[in-house]
Amino acid sequence: MKSFKTALTGLVVAVLLLASCGSDTQDAAPPEEDVASEEVAGDIIDVAVSAGQFPTLVAAVQAAGLVETLQGDGPFTVFAPTEEAFANALAALGLTAEQLLADTETLTAVLTYHVIPGKVMSSDLIGASDLNVATVNGAEVTVNEDMGTVSINSANVVTADIEASNGVIHVINEVLLP
């Protein structure tokens, strides 16, 4: 858990650094649509923390020591399981959250299986059929799109395109297991 906290802290620092970088010139205010596009809430970690809906994922990233990685330049695409998905996975595996967080080797393998390099928006997946995509841990996930529903292996994307300064988060309804 200490590594995850370190990683989460690193992600928060990276987001703050990215947010502080900007132009020193004072131009006229951009049109409102430009302002909205610049209001990305921070890096992947900052967005996950501020959303408040991923406490188990955030704790897992901290425990695995992946905060700094996910605060890096990226871009990354993260498939973030819901809290219900984590609860179901823990029950199916017969584990407590504490047991999962203590096994950093397994935790790291599972978490990096939820991340692919590059920023992939849902619109990039229209028509995907058995598309194999390499994850950060080296294994592949299979992506499909059918009538607007995107699936990663057997998990469905329930909320797509949550943008961050260094990538995008897609919320999924199952934990992906390599």
In the chain, what are the domains? 2-19+33-121+157-172 (2.30.180.10)
Q: What is the pLDDT of residues 121-175, one digit of tens each?
A: 999 999 999 999 999 999 999 999 999 999 999 999 999 999 999 999 999 999 9
* Residue 24, burial from CB neighbour count under 10 angstroms (0-12, 13-18, 19+): exposed
Give the strand pairing for 167-172 and 131-134. unpaired
- pTM score of the predicted model: 0.77
Q: What is the pLDDT of residues 70-120, one digit of tens each?
A: 999 999 999 999 999 999 999 999 999 899 899 999 999 999 999 999 999
Closest CA to 54 of 170, 178, 176, 149: 170
If phi over 0 gives left and psi between -120 and 50 gives alpha, with beta otherwise, what is residue 130? left
Residues constituting the chain: 178
Q: Is the pLDDT of residue 36 over 60?
A: no
> What pLDDT, on the 0 to 100 scale, is given for residue 9?
32
Residue-wise burial string across 94-115, b where 16 or more C-beta atoms lie within 10 A, e elsewhere: eeeeeebbeebebbbbbbbbbb
